[in-house]
Structure 1
């Protein structure tokens, strides 16, 4: 059973004020590099060639990088609270807020629980404001297609935000509009999960209906039909709506637009290794990924601190970040013998008697504060040098990927039961294991059981090792 935060509060006036100024860095360019995409008025992807609502919807995309949405509180609530991770850093760092998240229970005054609340309602406000501008701003002329697509983007992000809130807090106020009366917005009653989940489903269904199946390469990072289908599959699975979850996951798998990440031809990287490097951002495995970028002249403005707060806390050339959210011994022991994902997920540090890990030609040193760090956020030294920073603000955050969808399909199919569904579940599970073993048939053999209970445990195990340190374990 998952424990919700014991947090009961009203919405602060600063969270969803109609007069809130929507101004953000990068409204002209949501993503700054050619690799990640540029959004300019003259080549905006909507019909007619112009983006009349870009300043509003890009505000929502930009807010995904907010410190209170996908950084410190997010790591504590979704990872450190699970058995996959420890607090990390130094014993005193993070204070009582971190210790509560790591050890339970979480009190109503916990700073991270409060900051997440504020962050996600700030994100929801950006989405509600976008929808308001589309529907009410008579000074903007746009086709119906443009309006529907803009609203679809906003409703996807809003649905995702409420999905996070309901899983973290349980009962939360349901805000789907802007308020001109601060008193009214400050007294919205809490809605139950039974009321919240249909709303989330409606938002994501609308998004699925009106989002494009893909964007031009220079607009990579914007949400798609497949992203909505994948997120909806997870929403259904969370509610144990097995048939709906299976169908939605299958729609992604059979769309022909997604698959396991493929390294460039001639690369010596495995698919799983490539997936978590900068070169693997926005790969064919990605359904929903928070975009970030940095350069020597703009090292942080369009980035996110997600990597920095988890990176190695050392000295000199090995001082990359704050050192939080370190893989637990329990996670390290969960992998089967020879599973390559263990070494790609966990960065082991050197000890006086045993070498750690060599990554990008560098051996982890002796004397670091923690024995393990999250290798999935370890950034390329050449990019660090070009940016002039070791903090990793430029690394994207993977929220939803194809392997997750495949394992959701497997879980839903197995829970539905019946010989055909159990066979389909086992085949999906084995496809994930096949990618992981990378052609080495001496490791990770196929699962062969036909027993529903045994297969259930195998799928749960696979989710843990495939998605280690990716914020699913606590909810799973």
Structure 2
């Protein structure tokens, strides 16, 4: 059904060496002897993409659930997401928090393996353009993993080469500024090395492009330009809005991407039959009916099992509802097609009506797979609407451009959603538009932190929404997650826990 590279082929071919790729030093003979022909290096790149399989799960569990988009108080026992939504101080052992650390470093290690092998044995790849592209892919993905880490944890260790377990135990956390310098260097190289979207087709469709690197680099500049909150978090209080704007302009002026328009345009962005459309800049791609299973695991995370049961499908694992907050529901204007498409409002199961709402954005009930962890829909990480709205955000923060340009972009997005025009859009209004446009895409928490709105928004939201008294008072320390307890225990005295935990 798909062209895929990102989550697939390597896992079948590499399953016998996956443990070595994850753990062993570069001197390990299994790794050294594997890289013998050019295709081995392509498979090495595929191994890095494979580490993205649960990337969307992290965005839904750690960003969407942390934000004011969900009031995730469980009615069926204690769930791991409740501590995320409720700002619990005991998240050091939370499996979502631990998974984000481990999986990102697994991806970083795979990138380091390929980069080190390109340096040692790169002459095997006689096609210079391919060799450069592979380096660009590895550096783009390594930067993406580190950006994920710095937004979740702030100070983390920089691992820039393949190392042994004993070496890993001695590497301390780096300052956030140093981590960003490392990310920026990788993305600048990736933007120079990676080809344009037009260069990819067939099985290569979905690989990172120069536009993906430019967009991610712009978001990095914007994120570290956000307030620092005094917590060694992702914001450094810099003023790099123009650098970000210039990068976004390159993507816009490339002409390679566009907003989808016309009837049902918003839904078509996420259609199972319209993947890799003109709005997609970078996504995590999945292949179904493979052995081992390498389909998507995220589509059902926010939806309850009883809804699937009510529609004739088996349990998916969503257990009870993670309800969409009343605050988000009330924020949609009448006629906004994004609400209807993204949110299921009520359903009946076994004769009992369930009034609470939940996200269904990625679910096509006619495409429910036999295996709940083998969904065929891709997860869009970067899309063109994001580029346009990020560019508007840069203008509102002092980059080149006019208020009219901001209004024009917002009105393009609103028009597609079936809404009328607005004028004089400010930052808070822009974030509300982003909130509805990207609901259930994992951006809301990051947006609130980057723009400095997280404290007033979350404090006010808790006061209005928390009818069950499940959410702790918001503190700025909670803009970061704790370092997982297992990492602290494995490296006593090397890491410092984030404040507030």
Structure 1 position 335, deviation (Å): 1.1
Residue 61 of structure 1: aligned partner? 49
1:54-103 deviations in whole A, cap 9, x for unaligned?
A: 1200001111114xx442x4422111111112337753153xx3221110
Residue 393 of structure 2: aligned partner? 411
Residue 478 of structure 2: aligned partner? none
CA 60–417 in structure 1, closer or farther in 2 if over 3 Å, else same: closer
Residue 473 of structure 2: aligned partner? none
Question: With CA pairs under 8 Å and 6+ residues apart, which has the higher RCO, 1 or 2?
Answer: 2
In the TM superposition, what are the counterparts of 1:26-41 in structure 2 within 5 Å? none
Residue 301 of structure 2: aligned partner? 309
Structure 1 position 468, deviation (Å): 0.8
* Equivalent residues of 1:261, 1:280 under 8 A apart: no
In the TM superposition, what are the counterparts of 1:214-363 in structure 2 within 5 Å? 214=197, 215-218=199-202, 219-240=204-225, 241-261=240-260, 269-295=263-289, 298=290, 301-314=293-306, 315=309, 317-323=312-318, 325-350=322-347
Find the aligned partners of 2:60 and 2:148 in 1 and give their Cα distance.
13
Find the aligned partners of 1:237 and 1:318 in 2 and give their Cα distance.
43
2:158 is aligned with 1:174: yes
2:121 is aligned with 1:121: no
- Structure 1 residue matching 2:113: 3-state secondary structure: helix
Find the aligned partners of 2:78 and 2:256 in 1 and give their Cα distance.
43
* Equivalent residues of 2:284, 2:379 under 8 A apart: yes
Find the aligned partners of 1:105 and 1:83 in 2 and give their Cα distance.
15
* Equivalent residues of 1:409, 1:428 under 8 A apart: no
1:213 pairs, out of 196, 221, 226, with 196
Find the aligned partners of 1:221 and 1:118 in 2 and give their Cα distance.
24
Find the aligned partners of 1:242 and 1:320 in 2 and give their Cα distance.
46
CA 390–127 in structure 1, closer or farther in 2 if over 3 Å, else same: closer
TM-score (norm 2): 0.74
2:430 pairs, out of 459, 464, 467, with 459
Residue 472 of structure 2: aligned partner? none
CA 134–127 in structure 1, closer or farther in 2 if over 3 Å, else same: same
Find the aligned partners of 1:422 and 1:250 in 2 and give their Cα distance.
17
- Structure 2 residue matching 1:101: 3-state secondary structure: helix
* Equivalent residues of 2:300, 2:360 under 8 A apart: no
Find the aligned partners of 1:293 and 1:171 in 2 and give their Cα distance.
35
Find the aligned partners of 2:264 and 2:300 in 1 and give their Cα distance.
25
Residue 445 of structure 2: aligned partner? 474
* Equivalent residues of 1:312, 1:318 under 8 A apart: no
TM-score (norm 1): 0.77
Residue 35 of structure 1: aligned partner? none
Find the aligned partners of 2:413 and 2:382 in 1 and give their Cα distance.
15
* Equivalent residues of 1:294, 1:300 under 8 A apart: no
2:169 is aligned with 1:186: yes
- In terms of fraction of residues, the more helix-rich structure is 2
Structure 1 position 144, deviation (Å): 3.0
1:397 pairs, out of 379, 382, 388, with 379
Find the aligned partners of 2:293 and 2:327 in 1 and give their Cα distance.
37
- Structure 2 residue matching 1:108: 3-state secondary structure: helix
- Structure 1 residue matching 2:281: 3-state secondary structure: strand
CA 149–216 in structure 1, closer or farther in 2 if over 3 Å, else same: closer
Find the aligned partners of 2:427 and 2:136 in 1 and give their Cα distance.
35
- Structure 2 residue matching 1:376: 3-state secondary structure: coil
Residue 14 of structure 2: aligned partner? none
* Equivalent residues of 1:464, 1:473 under 8 A apart: yes
1:131-157 deviations in whole A, cap 9, x for unaligned?
A: 111111268342332221101001111
Structure 1 position 373, deviation (Å): 2.3
RMSD between superposed Cα atoms in Å: 2.8
Residue 436 of structure 1: aligned partner? 417
Structure 1 position 325, deviation (Å): 4.6
Structure 1 position 304, deviation (Å): 2.1
Find the aligned partners of 1:242 and 1:139 in 2 and give their Cα distance.
40
Find the aligned partners of 2:189 and 2:147 in 1 and give their Cα distance.
15
Find the aligned partners of 2:208 and 2:340 in 1 and give their Cα distance.
31
CA 312–146 in structure 1, closer or farther in 2 if over 3 Å, else same: same
Alignment: residue pair count: 401
* Equivalent residues of 1:310, 1:321 under 8 A apart: no
* Equivalent residues of 2:122, 2:131 under 8 A apart: no
CA 119–423 in structure 1, closer or farther in 2 if over 3 Å, else same: same
* Equivalent residues of 1:52, 1:140 under 8 A apart: no
Find the aligned partners of 1:300 and 1:398 in 2 and give their Cα distance.
23
Residue 371 of structure 1: aligned partner? 356
Find the aligned partners of 1:303 and 1:445 in 2 and give their Cα distance.
39
Unmatched runs of 5 consecutive residues or more in structure 1: 1-12, 28-40, 42-49, 264-268, 352-363, 438-443
